[in-house]
Chains A and B, each alone.
Chain A
Amino acid sequence: MQYHKLKNWQSIPELKSLHDLSTPPKELYFAGKWNPDIIKNCSAVVGSRKMTDYGARVVEKIIPSLIMQGKTVISGFMYGVDQHVHEVCVENRGKTIAVLGWGIDTPLFGSDLALAKKIIASGGILLSEWKTLKAAHWTFPARNRIVAALSSEVFIVEAAQKSGSLITAAIAAKLKRKLWAVPGPVTSRTSKGTNQLIASGKAQMWLGTDHLPGEYETDDPILEILQNEALTADEIARKLKNPVSETGANLSLLLLSGQILEKGGKYYIADVN
């Protein structure tokens, strides 16, 4: 992939936020078309490598609202939440910056390469402070500081108790960036970190875009019971006291009309807003 060195980045006014760091990067490399405008107004959305269905759905809610506000979405290009963030951003025609945890000339393969191409095609860039460096344990936290510094606000979607996303959160707090954490179920491992950020007051709780629960009115009994929780076809049939064959047929129809979603055998309401 074609990449360039950003000559004398210290003189670029859009990148002055990087000077907030105690150890700003020495050099910067990028792939894609350089456009200083996209760095002006950035939000970072990061999270666990192990994304749950819940995390994916949260990302799908956060990103469109950020794009509506004209923000560029920054993330870390790692599989899991980060890549999903880039993916959703590209799908919604937003600009996105992927800060790599390795040298810019490292060749990419498979789905990584496909995503990188999509990011560049949509006007985003891939960014790294190294030219040739293999990914190592320390390179990812180092990358996180750039993610945090470039953004005015940071969203933590999902994070386990010991997660790289919490490093990003800590740096963001130190740099006085606005920190949001998405609350999750207390039983979920990947929401422990985010819940703790909220409980300790380090982050603000993100409760979605303006949404008043319970206002969603529907005649369909399936949509009605799916409003409260995600259920399998068996559970829905049992609650409605209907044969599973009939319930299954109705679920297929709702799925095709886009009113519900299915993931891993469970059905969700497409969007309560």
Chain B
Amino acid sequence: MLIKIRSIANIGLETVPVDVEVDVASAGFPGFTIVGLASKAIEEARERVKTAIINSKLDFPPKKITVNLAPADLPKDGAAYDLPIAIGVLLASGQIPVHLEGVKAHLPGEGEVDLTKSFFYGELSLDGTLRPTRGILLLGLFAKKCGTGSVIFVPAESASEASVVTGIKIIPVKTLTQLASHFLGREITPLTEKPLKDIDELALPEFDLVEIAGQEQAKRALIIAAAGGHNLLMWGPPGTGKTMLSKALPGILPPLSNSEALEVTRIYSVSGLLRPGQPLVYKRPFRSPHHGTSTAGMIGGGSNPLPGEVSLAHLGVLFLDEMPEFPRTVLEGLRQPMEDGTVEIVRVAGHIRYPASFTLIAAINPCPCGYLGHPRRECKCSDKQIAKYRLRISGPILDRIDLFVAVAAVETEKLSLTQEHPADRLTSKKAKEQVLKARKVQSTRFKNGKIGLYTNSQMRNADVKKHCFLTAEAENLLKVAADRFDFSARSYFRLIKVARTIADLESNEKILPLHMAEALQYRQII
């Protein structure tokens, strides 16, 4: 008997339907073959499925079994086809006494399982239990697109991923035996859907600005970066709080909107990085890859390309500590995503595009040993070494960074004498209010403008001319500064963008000299 089970394949963030056709022939030598461009992991499904069925006290038919994964020309990978193959074998061998009427599998009881509307997806363990499987959210979203009445059968441990998708029935399956009884009438209770609610409450930041003593200018730079979506470079000796400051950034960025949260979760679902029971990524991602990360790890890759760090940081923060220590090829690979907000990966398996729109926070030491300019420790590097170290970050990357801020070593005794009371310190909550205000000003300004223009940092030169009104004094100030600091045309526009954000923070329509003067504080220093 031939049975057709529906399943899916995830190619990047795209989902395509896959039909798992299982035929248990009544004649021929016993055997078990899988065809349809299956990878090694799927080939091995034969052993898993066979053993799991036997260990579930069910019969594995000693007949000629052929499994076809259609479309046959699409390469398929992963162990998630175990469940559709197993259920296909059980149905096709007639062990679950179903009456086939067309494609509907009637249960002996009242219910029925409409195989045309059911999706099976999950990895089997040898004892017949289902293992957590990645990409469940994408399956849920795809099932919803397929129409009402869709049912997905997925491993219980990963089922919560899909619970944010409304309008589909999610059956969390623990074991193969349980699923077999479901077909026999003892139905498994479907998962209740959890529609998205206001997720900001759940997103507690990892670090609050209030925990960081001193570094007022760096904090101010963070607020400007968050408000205008600017990339930021922090420059200073080790141990001055660069990492802590950047960890505080997700907490002052505007909360993820529901659609943004879903977008981020999709990426995490494909990567298999969602914890069991975690339906959604609520927090803005903060990724801090080590400088040993390879290009494939940063940009995404593999023969079946998975998202890299740039995509995992989508709509969040990518923090590169000790930026000059990253291999040059890895840093240069950041250029396309920083420009376009997406990254395209081409491999044998195909051409995949992942979103990668992030705020870059780079931290660099002033010199290889890190102590140049430190009040107490001596730097041991030669001038040549220092110059070489700084040259490791190429111009095109620096061009994409709008804000530069020096983070000096904090002399604790000085702090305790002059520092205001911790209660007066800026909290992330207050900072966030400022950021939200400035973002609102920007969204009103860009409402009727180009598509894809949301923040000041995304403005091209033409947009700068259109949206940034400098007073005569501010323009004059900029010209004097350009002359004095020898600005390139590009840094000229970068400064105007930063000044625009500073003016937005004060809800000022014009860029005043004061705003321009403050922006000059964050000019390129390396």
Contact = CB atoms under 8 A, between A and B. Distances in A.
Interface of A: 49-51, 53, 79-80, 187, 189, 232-235, 237-239, 243-246, 248-253, 255-256, 264-266
B521 A233 contact: yes
A256 B523 CA distance: 13
B239 to A, nearest CB: 15
A227 B215 CA distance: 22
22 contacts: A232-B408, A234-B214, A234-B215, A234-B216, A234-B217, A234-B408, A235-B414, A237-B216, A237-B217, A244-B216, A244-B219, A245-B220, A245-B518, A249-B514, A249-B521, A252-B517, A255-B520, A256-B477, A265-B235, A265-B406, A265-B525, A266-B408
Contact of A244 (B217, B376, B383, B515): B217
Interface residues of B, number: 36
B220 A265 contact: no
Interface string B409-428: 00000100011000000000
B521 A264 contact: no
A49 B419 CA distance: 38
A194 to B, nearest CB: 16
B370 to A, nearest CB: 13
A238 B216 contact: yes
B406 A50 contact: no
B408 A49 contact: no
Given A256-B484, A265-B406, A49 B518 contact: no
A252 B516 CA distance: 9
A42 B379 CA distance: 33
Chain A at the B interface: mostly helix, strand, loop or mixed? helix
A187 B376 contact: yes
Given A238-B216, A265-B235, A252 B518 contact: yes
Contacts, number: 82
Contact of A256 (B214, B217, B481, B514): B481
Nearest to B372: A264
Given A49-B382, A79-B384, A244-B217, A265 B236 contact: yes
A132 B366 CA distance: 37
A79 B502 contact: no
Query: Which 7 pairs across A and B sit closest by C-beta, in order of nearness?
Result: A265-B406, A249-B517, A252-B520, A244-B216, A248-B521, A252-B517, A264-B373
Interface of B: 214-220, 235-236, 366, 372-373, 376, 378-379, 382-384, 406-408, 414, 418-419, 477, 480-481, 484, 502, 514-515, 517-518, 520-521, 525
A187 B525 CA distance: 27
Contacts of A255: 520
Contacts of A244: 216-217, 219-220
A251 B406 CA distance: 14
A263 to B, nearest CB: 8
A250 B517 contact: yes
A49 B383 CA distance: 8
A129 to B, nearest CB: 26
A37 B344 CA distance: 68
A265 B373 contact: yes
Contacts of A80: 383
A243 B502 CA distance: 14
Nearest to A250: B517
Given A238-B419, A248-B217, A253-B517, 9 more contacts: A49-B382, A49-B383, A232-B408, A234-B218, A237-B217, A243-B216, A248-B220, A250-B517, A265-B235
A237 B219 CA distance: 13
Contacts of B214: 234, 238
A270 B218 CA distance: 25
B518 A249 contact: yes
Contacts of A234: 214-218, 408
Contacts of B521: 233, 248-249, 251-252
Contacts of B477: 253, 256
